[in-house]
A and B are shown apart, each in its own frame.
Chain A
Amino acid sequence: MAKPILQVRHLVKYFPIKKGVFRKTVGWVRAVDDVSFDVYEGETLGLVGESGCGKTTTALTILRLEEPTRGQVIFDGKDITKLKRRDMRKMRKGMQIIFQDPYSSLDPRMKVKDIIAEGMLTHNMLNGRNVYKRVGELLERVGIPADYMNRFPHEFSGGQRQRVGIARALALEPKIIMCDEAVSALDVSIRSQIINLLKDLQNEFKFTYLFIAHDLSVIKYISDRVAVMYVGKIVELADKKVFFDDPLHPYTQALISAVPVPNPDYKKKRIVLQGDVPSPANPPKGCRFHPRCFMAMDICSKVEPELVEVKPGHFVACHFYDKKGGNS
């Protein structure tokens, strides 16, 4: 069994809701609310869920780009939640993030070579002379000709900019890369190129991915294990095959059944959920899914189900996970 490279324990992130001239805190957005999971060395853990469920906030608090409200993040054996800013900056070399929007995450005034070199210089990985040679190698590796390094981000297409973002992350030789909707904004044909690139790089460099996406088809293709979030909580986590073939949480079942499949003969029973996703500023009592759940019983609106390991490696947060729901 591989060892965990990242252990997230009871992670909580609340954002204050402020009102009035005195900016008084009148409530809290419970963006991430007691989230625990492990990521094993060399694997890809997919994190899926609908918008606003807390995926990005989870990644940002792990990196301490947002300070966690509570909880622990253990990276490579070290509790990084206690680290001072300066030590955290060093630690972050090993944990890179790639965002959805390469436009906003690349400084438009910097040449691509300096964008990629910046991290290597800060961390004294290479000196000024050798760094651009390395930039050239990195660009070639992600599929961009080395002599494009003197260009600015706006001279690249969306897909190429995402490649630049990948090169920048690669430069620091990270142990884990968090991809936050890294392929979501790309067009179909470009998206598959980038997915293939991410997979090839992982094979070559053996790093770990926390792969965040709302698209279940992409998650299924790229992940080894999958966790699904709903209103700030993980409600199910399992090996990819189990997750897609035998999901136990009613929300997971509905989510999978909602995905349109590019095959007109693929007929499966769709579970259409009623209503909208509730706001994390005012989550339903008990099980947060209960107002939309087709299996809900009295207890569901009162008692919050814990995320428990119901089979080895299969975690579910539902009072009735063993009552096969949906179609029966």
Chain B
Amino acid sequence: MMAKKREKLLEVKGLKTYFFTENGVVKAVDGVDFDVYKGETLGLVGESGCGKSVTAFSIMRLLDYPGKTVGGRVVFEGENLLEKSEDGMRKIRGKDIAMIFQEPMTSLNPVFTIGYQISEALKIHLHMNDREAMAKSVELLKKVGIPIPEQRVHEYPHQLSGGMRQRAMIAMAMSCDPTLLIADEPTTALDVTIQAQILELMKALLQEFNASLIMITHDLGVIAEIANRVAVMYAGKIVEYSDINTIFHFPLHPYTFGLLTSIPRLDVELKRLDAIPGFVPDPLHFPKGCKFNPRCRFATDKCREEEPPLVKVEEGHLVRCWHVDRVKEEVKNGLLVGV
């Protein structure tokens, strides 16, 4: 799975996207840094409102008013996307970087056939003629496991089931052989057996196309299954960033730790869920200091005063917390030992 020599495909640095609303400035994404290497899957995980979708839309430059990226860089294959012209972006979107949404109808147009929509992208980006594009569309639908693709290309999105629509959207996303795929909660709305189908399909396609993926989800199970590395977001910032094994077995941020010990799971019998108290803060009234401090059992006066930076605790493991040492003490034998 992991690319051998780690070549950087995308570098997000200091990304800040704010919404200038009547009630004040919502700092939805407030200094986010991460990298995506060629061929890998980076999981972006966090509860709703933490800024996952806004991060994705900022990378794609698809923000609507009153949202604006006010700082940072998004370097894709050596170029800062934030400095590109809209025309230049259009050449990249749907070709080099493709996006998959939770709701397929976000990217599928209800009034055109599936085949027409996939063909359009192929004609624009790969300069195919009608016949080539249609043939390629059939081939793509077949690849994503849609039965009788010759017939399905002529159908409209509403004629497909939820799972099949999701497959059609994936076919469209893969059509121009993107190097980066951004999937925003692609399986959240699906039933569990259909979710399993889509996850298996995505894993197979990533292998085949050797594409990188940013998998956005709130589901730690999905992350464990598909990601190589993980960034955990809380209140517009990344609070922990590491490889998948470290995150699940030796998390060092109290929020990550709390998430993992609070969820019911199939692999271990939990006596009691160690629920994180309180709730995610309203972005217009973020607490002073560490944004997690009102919910954190490790919090001290320092946490209530000063926001911690994201620092390297080990090679490839970054944590935004003043008291990593105390958390480390609790997880030194692995997170689930003794439950």
Contact = CB atoms under 8 A, between A and B. Distances in A.
B280 to A, nearest CB: 7
A308 to B, nearest CB: 24
B194 A188 contact: no
A221 B270 contact: yes
Nearest to B147: A275
B12 interface: no
A244 B224 CA distance: 20
Contacts of B195: 258, 260
A196 B265 contact: no
Interface stretch (B23-31, B92-100, B256-264, B306-314): B256-264
Interface in A196-227: 196, 199, 214-218, 220-222
A270 interface: yes
A195 B244 contact: no
Nearest to B192: A258
A188 B262 contact: yes
Contact of B275 (A189, A218, A221, A276): A189
Contacts of A265: 245
Given A187-B218, A190-B279, A276-B161, A263 B248 contact: yes
A261 B265 CA distance: 7
Interface stretch (B111-119, B196-204, B206-214): B196-204
Interface in B192-251: 192-197, 199-200, 218-225, 244-245, 248
A261 B267 contact: yes
B180 interface: no
A261 B224 contact: yes
A260 B272 contact: no
Contacts of B275: 189, 192-193, 195-196
Contacts of A20: none
A273 B193 contact: yes
A256 interface: yes
B191 interface: yes
B273 interface: yes
A256 B266 contact: yes
Nearest to B295: A189
Contacts of A214: 191-192
Given A192-B275, A264-B245, A276-B161, A217 B47 contact: no
Interface residues of A, number: 41
Interface residues of B, number: 46
Contact of B248 (A192, A244, A262, A270): A262
A188 B47 CA distance: 7
A270 B266 CA distance: 14
Contacts of A199: 272
A273 B161 CA distance: 15
B89 interface: no
Contact of B219 (A221, A255, A260, A264): A260
Contacts of A50: 191-194
Contacts of B161: 276
Contacts of A25: none
Nearest to B187: A260
A187 B244 CA distance: 22
Given A187-B47, A188-B47, A195-B264, A255 B192 contact: yes
Nearest to B50: A187
B224 A217 contact: no
Contacts of A220: 264, 266
B9 interface: no
B78 interface: no
A241 B265 CA distance: 14
Nearest to B270: A221
Contacts of A261: 221, 224-225, 265-267
A221 B224 contact: no
B338 interface: no
A195 B48 contact: no
28 contacts: A50-B192, A50-B194, A187-B47, A187-B280, A188-B218, A189-B262, A189-B276, A192-B263, A195-B275, A196-B272, A214-B192, A217-B221, A217-B263, A220-B266, A221-B270, A254-B193, A255-B192, A258-B196, A260-B195, A260-B196, A260-B224, A261-B265, A262-B220, A266-B267, A272-B196, A272-B200, A276-B161, A277-B193
